[in-house]
Structure 1
Amino acid sequence: MWLTSSTLWLLLLATQCLAKSSSSQESFSAKNEAEVVFEKNTNSELLWAPYRSNCYFGIRPRYVDATPFIFGLMWFDTTQFDSMTKLRHFVSDEDNLERFTWEVYDPRVGGKENIIDPENNLNLTIYFAKTHDDQNWVVRVSGKPLDPSLNTTTSVIVYMNQNVGGDLKGPSRLVYMDNDADENTFTFTGVSEELGKYEVLVNDNYGTYYHNETLGSVEAVPGCDASRSAHVGLTIPDHEVWRARDIFQSLLTDSIKDVVTQLGENIESGLVPSILTLRNIHNFEEGNFHYIQKTFDLHEEKGFEFDVVYNNLESEQTIESGKEATKLINDAINEVNVRFDNHFDIENLGSDDKREFAIEVFSNLLGGIGYFHGTQVIDRETILDEDQFESIKFEHYKEEGPYSLFTSVPSRGFFPRGFYWDEGFHLLQIMEYDYDLAFQIAVSWFRLIDEDGWVAREVILGPEARSKVPAEFTIQSPQVANPPTLLLALSEMLTKLIENSDTLGTPHAAIDSDVEDGISAALGTNFEYIIKYSKVIYPKLQQHFQWFMDTQRGQLEEYMEDMEDDVTFSQVHQDYVFKWLGRTVTHCLPSGLDDYPRAQPPDVAELNVDTLAWVSMMSRSMKNIAHILELEADEAKYAEIEKKTVENMDLLHWSEKAHAYCDVTLDDEGDEEMMLVCHEGYISLLPFALKMMPSDSPRLKDVLKLMSDPEKLFSAYGLRSLSKQDPYFGAGENYWRGKVWLNINYLCLDAIKHYFPEVIEGSQQSSQLGDREASKIAQKLYSQLRENLVNNVYNNWKDTNYVYENYDPITGRGTGSVQFTGWTSLIVNILRRQAL
């Protein structure tokens, strides 16, 4: 991977968070001063951020679970009665926004998010910045009309809640303080058992509230007046706060009905913005939940701007003025720009557009980082067998937890939750920029490994996360795996660690430079320190590895009688064959390559080459960890597993006819003989992409030819997921049946560099294969593939403002979820490497 050696120990070091369990606590009973300072700084720096990934903008604190302070924004145009259908809150592709993007962002300091909403005639910019002690923050909301001549209004709703936790009579509260001086300024005082005492100030910087010169007053009925800010306080149960949009719409609908009752249906059109202003029609007693609605006139191009300031009253660095807020915002934006340029030399390409593209894509990956807390729906009883092939029904489920997860998400609009196989790719990107942040995320995932070694393929915690998931996908099963990409990232880091073990005693310059950037420095590295933290994570990973082996193990018994005289088959290591448990006739969701064609009809005896490749990668990772911990017996054990799985890939899954790796199944139409099922595409490449092929394997050349063939996988936009010659190409659901995906393309590029280091200009190393023709193919493929990927993702962004889940192999057009800044953000790593 394109990782620096200083990332290696950091992920291991992060396992300090596992010390929350009693067994782990013993390992950390003797923390030195540097460790304590590091933990304190990290928890402080990452306490506050827009961690509600599914909202266009929503804040909650990290690891504050009982009594967090929750904040969110909504907006809509109030000039028409049907405007509520355009109320924005949760990110949705159906909102048809022209743009929603973090232009610059770092969860440690803040950033700038821009949203262009044509249906609401609004160009909205949201700034977020924190004080240097990380305890206080400001949100600045700035809006302008896209077209001032349209005579629209924008109603922005701020909502906030102080959760009370389990004790409804506890001290946690959020109280509105009357302000007679300015009806549009609001002050709240709050107390959280976990956060302490704080104050929230909502204050206008500029803007004209709604008015209508043809009317003497725009107050429709008492309390319905868009010419001033509206406030409604009430009590909402903690677990229902995420429904802020639904509750707002319900209350506003009741208010509208009451207005119609009083005024009749022939209402002056100039009163509509006021009628769409929230009021306390039900006379709720003020509680911990508060709506503030501000309706601005968008006749003038200048628009409006207001600040929301949160100050912890025990902090010495409170935000006391708009000027201080402005300085914090400017400093945050400048700091993120400097940090990005220090880590990614995009500007060396001589293109400002490419740099803007890169920092936006990367900022949106960081902007998708969220903190989730709640229960998970799990079925531990349903057994998967041959009946699963028609359909899988998990009917014996229940909620477990609560659990917590700190993670980035693939896409805020369509996938705002934790995905196990996506997260490893996210980490490969984040590690390049902020090692500490990456290991915090990784450790949060490691914490979820249960006593059996299982972690869910999708982590969907609490009702807010579940609201974005189709019911059939919410239930998780301990029998169903996913590609273990977290161990992929760890494996690459540990490989680098072994290669650079002689430098472990000295601090890394990259770490020291973070001090100059205003970001807390990571702990200095030494071999003993790495061992200390590796010992904490090691048992968890052992359990996870064994769980994967046990649940996804295949069987050779069905082939024995037919293949007993086959010399090659007799060399197969029978205990090291694997399949994806949980596939159906049409889908193999556990593989991550959902509708990628597999053997038809499915059979319990099916063996999948990609499962085997992932197990092989896991064994290599475990071998490297055992080596660092000087656990010689374990190192030898995992080395033996790695050796046998690598050998099985060639013995069992290589097709001499197709010159590719293929799945294995029984030929039901014949005499139930073993047959190779070859659908050339990503599964054919995974042994290569995961670097599990021997470095001198003559089959490397065949893999290169497959990737380079324009009639099969190579395209002007990247490697197709399925060969253009395959009968399933572009058929059916057409998800992994030809589309270009950045994650596998990234792995393939890196593998080319691994096997053929001469592809990098100035490299002093060359391929162990010693095949000049293969080397030439590799060099041409590496250069063209990288250029094609960069140009296509960049051109789509230039045309549409977005990056996508995948790309059409014929036209290059982005398809799938928009603003998919999960693994598609790996394009920044690829783009950066062009400059080297």
Structure 2
Amino acid sequence: MSKAGLRQRPKGKEKNTYELSGDEKREEKWPYANGQLDPYAKAIGAAVVIVMTVLITYFRYQQYLRDIIITPIDSPLIIPANGSSPTVNPSRFWGTYRPQAYFGVKSRSKTSPVLGLMWMTQLTNQMPPPLRHWCDQGDGLESYVWQKHDGESFGVQEIKEKLYTIKTEFLKQPGGDHGGDWSAKISFIPKDPTRSVVVSSFFYLALDQDNGQLESKITKGRLTSVSGWHEDLGTFEVQMPNIAAAEGAKAGEKPQVKYSYFVSYAKQLDQLKDILVNGLKVEAWDKGRTQPYFSLSGRRVPRDVAGPNFMVKQVTAQLPFTMEVIYQSGSFVDRQEELSKEKFTAVMQSKEQEFDAKFEKVFLLAQRGYKVNEINFAKSALSNMLGGIGYFYGSSLVKSRYNTEPINYWEAPLYTAVPSRPFFPRGFLWDEGFHNMLIRMWNSDISKDIIGHWMDLMNTEGWIPREQILGTEARAKVPSEFVVQRNTNANPPTFFLPLQSLIKEMIQSNKPSDKAYLKALYPRLRTWFNYYNTTQKGDIPFTYRWHGRDPTLTKQLNPLTLTSGLDDYPRASHPTTDERHVDLRCWIALAAGVMRDIARSLGQEWQSYDDTHRLLTDNTLLDKLHWSPKAQQYSDWGLHTDKARLEKPKPPPNQHPSQRPQQMDTDKIRVILTEPSKQFVNAFGYVSLFPFLLKIVDAKSPKLDKILTDITDPTKLWTDFGLRSISRNSKFYGRFNTEHDPPYWRGPIWINMNYLSLSALHHYSSVEGPYKERAKTVYSSLRKNLVTNIFKEFERTGYIWENYNDKTGEGKGSHPFTGWSALVVLMMAETF
């Protein structure tokens, strides 16, 4: 209808209408009448507002739920943002913080330059010869061991190849505003001086994320130094002087030494080895040699980058030879003498003497009658723990039930020891509690630094990702299926083990710094404890269960419980929400006791922790929930059957073989022979011992006598090498959990659990009770068996191992494993 067909209604009419030009009139209502909304329109508008508000609130709440997992706890950091800076903590700013490398150095800057060593044996028939860089069991080295390392100022390591030994020495010198200077001396020493061996050493410097700049100094075709600038280091210089030609000379002979260099660009730090390999070229060593000689190809910098960030000096010579690397900070203006040559040797000797004196003062091994080689073994075990401390920066990949896809945790630093340099060069939450039982004895400040870094990774729920895979180098070492961390999954709160002693020390010290540390630590521990006490609780009061078990898996004989740390240890065969896990209950009991002590010392409410501790250590309640009358042992409880096995899947009936898919999955699957029922899971082993391991069993209880009988029974846990992880009588002893996964916690001897066993035996041998003398006898025998076997295997193989064979005592698994296996030092020192 056109505007011309309408005329305004005459004045005086009450209703708001238009008059039509024809005979028919139509009344039109306007939303506004007398300047006010029509009631119907008001209702619609209000409904729209309500719906929009509900939708916005809903979507905001959903986003809130998705973001909870990546929301930090609202509490002051224990380690302030600048807590690792050279101005606040200069003594630990630089270090051998790249445990995955055979020899690597970096600072505690989030984008620190990295320096390190690669090497290869030249003049072989391999094309090219193996290039060593990251620790790798496949390299087949005879050993690589930090002989002495104090965790802060120096370290001496020996790396043993078949034909020669590499000695790496690292030494720091304080001064300036950026962590001071440091130097490295790298010596290549032939095992047979009469045999000609030619080796190339590649020492490199690389920037991370282009946060700085590098400039090489080339003199007569040789890389002699690198000057640079970095946002956290200021200006610096790395000198790489030529080696002394006489070092490798036989009488009357001048050995041949060759130099080459490589100046290039690396997008990521995990690509350094590949880039270097691509920069190699083949040359003739001399006229008398037919084998190829590999050298670096000089400058190769892509045109599309601002400049080089990866520089390498290659030195190739007949052994023996020694090279030096001297890092000097531009802010160290009053340097009296550079840390090299005679100065380096003198300071290193002094550091080693200080280390030896402190080691004896702390552990008293000479006083206890140990021989020199046994003491040197213990020094190596401690030094490998300290030399395996790394500094990482990055974010974890995490997921909650509200996230459809994994998301990134916030970026953060982590200063932590690692279990194994070749296999697990990253942080593990439950391992680190055991690590710090040893580290705190050597240097409690390092332990407090480590624990503070871990606690600062806590989110608002009180959850800490149990495996820390931070940065490109760490991520490159982890299979993809283990990268994502889930916030429903906890890990044993083992930090409460070292905290028991550390908190007492800090309370007694009356130092302002310790009081400040405790004040910052307490709210995080409180939230952490609440996380365990709520998310991991069972369906009935005072019970707990590990999350993360998958009931849908068909290829596992017994679904893994990775979160407990005891991976394939047999739990209930059919995971349900009403499982009861005795080990987790004991961990919560331990945590409640420590929380009570710290709360009381800070004048906080502590009675609730004391109540929880009393309930969880009450033996009557514990026995009601976890003592199996049939097996006469402490046990888990759940939906379980022992009668299951792995079998090859059968093809569908009446199907011809030619009809089967070519890629048919033929892995064995679990077949249940007897339906499960609710019952105690009577697999006797480490889990059964937890009320004993964490000293919850009453010293007068007959159940303690039964435990002592069981652990000393050779048909159950006792061996000449330590306590095996599960009884030889168990149906799960030595059984594969899948067709391809050999037994892990189903027989082998693990040192962390044996350490807890010794600690418990030491406790029960020192408190009044009818089994005091028996506990003392068992303690002496078990301690002797453990120390003797670990030392014997170290002497035989050159390594401390992840676990030990319960029949032969042979070291097995990852090596070197100088995480919790290094607790042998505390066993020798009888420190629990």
- Please list, as runs of the form range in 1=range in 2, the aligned pairs for 1:707-726 lying within 5 A after superposition: 707-726=711-730
Aligned residue among 271, 277, 285 for 1:243:
271
The alpha-carbon deviation at position 605 of structure 1 amounts to 2.2
Aligned residue among 347, 350, 359 for 1:328:
347
Aligned residue among 608, 613, 620 for 2:581:
608
1:289 is matched with which residue?
Answer: 310
Aligned residue among 327, 343, 346 for 1:310:
327
Q: Which amino acid aligns with 2:546?
A: W
Contact persistence 1:131–1:328 (CA under 8 A): no
The CA deviation string for residues 500-522 of structure 1, in whole angstroms up to 9 with x for no partner, is: x7xx3xxxxxxxxxxxxxxxxxx
- Distance in 1 (CA, whole Å) between partners of 2:199 and 2:571 is 52
- Distance in 1 (CA, whole Å) between partners of 2:78 and 2:379 is 42
Aligned residue among 223, 239, 242 for 1:201:
239
- Please list, as runs of the form range in 1=range in 2, the aligned pairs for 1:142-541 lying within 5 A after superposition: 142-148=187-193, 150-163=195-208, 165=210, 172-179=212-219, 184=222, 186-207=224-245, 227-237=257-267, 240-252=268-280, 255-256=281-282, 270=289, 272-280=291-299, 287-298=308-319, 303-315=320-332, 316-317=334-335, 319=338, 321-348=340-367, 349-381=369-401, 396-494=405-503, 496=504, 504=508, 525-526=509-510, 530-541=514-525
The alpha-carbon deviation at position 543 of structure 1 amounts to 1.3
Residue 437 to residue 83, structure 1, CA distance change in 2 (3 Å): farther
- Distance in 2 (CA, whole Å) between partners of 1:93 and 1:673 is 44
Unpaired segments ≥5 residues, structure 2: 1-71, 250-254, 551-557, 642-672, 737-741
- Distance in 2 (CA, whole Å) between partners of 1:665 and 1:27 is 42
The alpha-carbon deviation at position 128 of structure 1 amounts to 0.5
Q: Which amino acid aligns with 1:535?
A: K
Residue 193 to residue 531, structure 1, CA distance change in 2 (3 Å): closer
The alpha-carbon deviation at position 41 of structure 1 amounts to 8.0
The CA deviation string for residues 594-620 of structure 1, in whole angstroms up to 9 with x for no partner, is: 111112233332211111111111211
The alpha-carbon deviation at position 53 of structure 1 amounts to 0.7
- The answer to whether residue 571 in structure 2 is matched with residue 549 in structure 1 is no
Q: Which amino acid aligns with 1:534?
A: L
The alpha-carbon deviation at position 702 of structure 1 amounts to 1.7
- Distance in 2 (CA, whole Å) between partners of 1:407 and 1:325 is 28
- Distance in 1 (CA, whole Å) between partners of 2:290 and 2:676 is 77
- The answer to whether residue 566 in structure 2 is matched with residue 593 in structure 1 is yes
Aligned residue among 107, 117, 141 for 2:161:
117
Structure exhibiting the larger radius of gyration computed from Cα positions:
2
Residue 596 to residue 236, structure 1, CA distance change in 2 (3 Å): same
Percent identity, please: 31
The alpha-carbon deviation at position 643 of structure 1 amounts to 2.2
1:96 is matched with which residue?
Answer: 140
The alpha-carbon deviation at position 331 of structure 1 amounts to 2.3
- Distance in 1 (CA, whole Å) between partners of 2:528 and 2:200 is 50
- Distance in 2 (CA, whole Å) between partners of 1:271 and 1:106 is 46
The alpha-carbon deviation at position 674 of structure 1 amounts to 4.0
- Distance in 2 (CA, whole Å) between partners of 1:293 and 1:39 is 32
2:169 is matched with which residue?
Answer: 127
Contact persistence 1:184–1:228 (CA under 8 A): no
Residue 642 to residue 674, structure 1, CA distance change in 2 (3 Å): farther
- Distance in 1 (CA, whole Å) between partners of 2:675 and 2:475 is 47
Unpaired segments ≥5 residues, structure 1: 1-19, 30-35, 167-171, 212-217, 219-225, 384-394, 505-524, 556-573, 758-765
- Distance in 1 (CA, whole Å) between partners of 2:395 and 2:104 is 21
Residue 27 to residue 199, structure 1, CA distance change in 2 (3 Å): closer
SS in 1 for 2:219: coil
- Distance in 2 (CA, whole Å) between partners of 1:26 and 1:601 is 41
Contact persistence 1:376–1:403 (CA under 8 A): no
SS in 2 for 1:411: coil
SS in 2 for 1:476: strand
1:754 is matched with which residue?
Answer: 763
Q: Which amino acid aligns with 2:201?
A: V
The alpha-carbon deviation at position 440 of structure 1 amounts to 0.7
Residue 57 to residue 664, structure 1, CA distance change in 2 (3 Å): same
The alpha-carbon deviation at position 627 of structure 1 amounts to 1.2
Residue 163 to residue 462, structure 1, CA distance change in 2 (3 Å): closer
- Distance in 2 (CA, whole Å) between partners of 1:406 and 1:137 is 20
- Distance in 2 (CA, whole Å) between partners of 1:799 and 1:56 is 21
2:4 is matched with which residue?
Answer: none
The alpha-carbon deviation at position 149 of structure 1 amounts to 5.2
Q: Which amino acid aligns with 1:533?
A: Y
Residue 529 to residue 272, structure 1, CA distance change in 2 (3 Å): closer
The alpha-carbon deviation at position 106 of structure 1 amounts to 1.4
Residue 306 to residue 673, structure 1, CA distance change in 2 (3 Å): closer
Contact persistence 1:379–1:478 (CA under 8 A): yes
The CA deviation string for residues 142-171 of structure 1, in whole angstroms up to 9 with x for no partner, is: 0022335553310110110244656xxxxx
The alpha-carbon deviation at position 740 of structure 1 amounts to 0.8
SS in 2 for 1:107: coil
Instruction: Give the structure with the larger helix fraction.
Output: 1
Contact persistence 1:60–1:69 (CA under 8 A): yes
2:780 is matched with which residue?
Answer: 783
2:694 is matched with which residue?
Answer: 690
2:76 is matched with which residue?
Answer: 24
Q: Which amino acid aligns with 2:312?
A: Y
RMSD: 3.2
- Please list, as runs of the form range in 1=range in 2, the aligned pairs for 1:640-651 lying within 5 A after superposition: 640-647=611-618, 648-651=621-624
The alpha-carbon deviation at position 575 of structure 1 amounts to 2.6
Higher relative contact order (CA closer than 8 Å, sequence separation 6+): 1
Residue 414 to residue 671, structure 1, CA distance change in 2 (3 Å): closer
Contact persistence 1:741–1:806 (CA under 8 A): yes
Residue 711 to residue 152, structure 1, CA distance change in 2 (3 Å): same
TM-score normalised by L of structure 2: 0.79
Number of positions where the alignment pairs a residue of Structure 1 with one of Structure 2: 704
2:659 is matched with which residue?
Answer: none
Contact persistence 1:609–1:663 (CA under 8 A): yes
Residue range with higher mean Cα deviation, 364-373 or 198-207 = 198-207
Contact persistence 2:73–2:462 (CA under 8 A): no
The alpha-carbon deviation at position 267 of structure 1 amounts to 12
Residue 209 to residue 326, structure 1, CA distance change in 2 (3 Å): closer
SS in 1 for 2:499: helix
The alpha-carbon deviation at position 472 of structure 1 amounts to 0.9
Contact persistence 2:576–2:638 (CA under 8 A): yes
SS in 1 for 2:97: coil
The CA deviation string for residues 173-223 of structure 1, in whole angstroms up to 9 with x for no partner, is: 22112435xx55612221112111111110134347999xxxxxx9xxxxx
Residue 735 to residue 196, structure 1, CA distance change in 2 (3 Å): same
- The answer to whether residue 73 in structure 2 is matched with residue 56 in structure 1 is no
Q: Which amino acid aligns with 1:687?
A: P
- Distance in 2 (CA, whole Å) between partners of 1:712 and 1:50 is 43
Residue 199 to residue 528, structure 1, CA distance change in 2 (3 Å): closer
Q: Which amino acid aligns with 2:151?
A: P
Residue 281 to residue 615, structure 1, CA distance change in 2 (3 Å): closer
The alpha-carbon deviation at position 649 of structure 1 amounts to 2.2
